[in-house]
Amino acid sequence: MHPTPSIILFTLSSGAGIGLLLLLVLLHGLNLAAPVPLDTRLFAGGLALALIVGGLVASVFHLANPKNAWKAFNRFRTSWLSREGVFSVALMAITVVYLLGISDTGDSQAIGLRIGALLVFALGLATLFSTGMIYASLKPIRQWRNPLVPPIYLLMGLATGGVILTVVERVSGGPTRTTVSATVLALAGAALAKAVYYVWIGRPAGPTINTATGMTQAQVKLLDAGHSHRTFLTAEFGNTLRRAGSGTWRTVVFVFAFLLPAIGVIALARGAAPAFGVLAILSAFAGAAVERWLFFVEARHVVNLYHGSPRT
> How does pLDDT run across 10-53, given as a tens digit for each residue?
999 999 999 999 999 999 888 888 888 999 999 999 999 999 99
The C-alpha atoms of residue 170 and residue 91 are separated, in whole angstroms, by 26
Closest CA to 259 of 299, 233, 236, 286: 286
The C-alpha atoms of residue 302 and residue 234 are separated, in whole angstroms, by 9
Q: Is a pLDDT exceeding 60 seen at residue 153?
A: yes
- Please give the pLDDT value at position 21: 96
Q: CA 230 → CA 112, 186, 233, distances in Å?
A: 57, 41, 8
The angle formed by the CA atoms of residues 117, 123 and 126, to the nearest 5 degrees, is 145
Least confident of 113-122, 153-162, 168-177, 278-287: 168-177
- Please give the pLDDT value at position 308: 65
Residues 94 and 18 sit within 8 Å (Cβ to Cβ): no
Amino acid of residue 247: G
Domains, in order of start, for the chain: 5-307 (1.20.1630.10)
Which pLDDT tens digit goes with each residue over 216-256?
777 777 776 656 677 776 677 666 666 656 889 999 999 99
Taking the whole predicted model, whether its pTM rises above 0.85 is answered as yes
Q: What is the DSSP letter of 33?
A: S
Least confident of 115-129, 181-195, 209-223, 249-263: 209-223
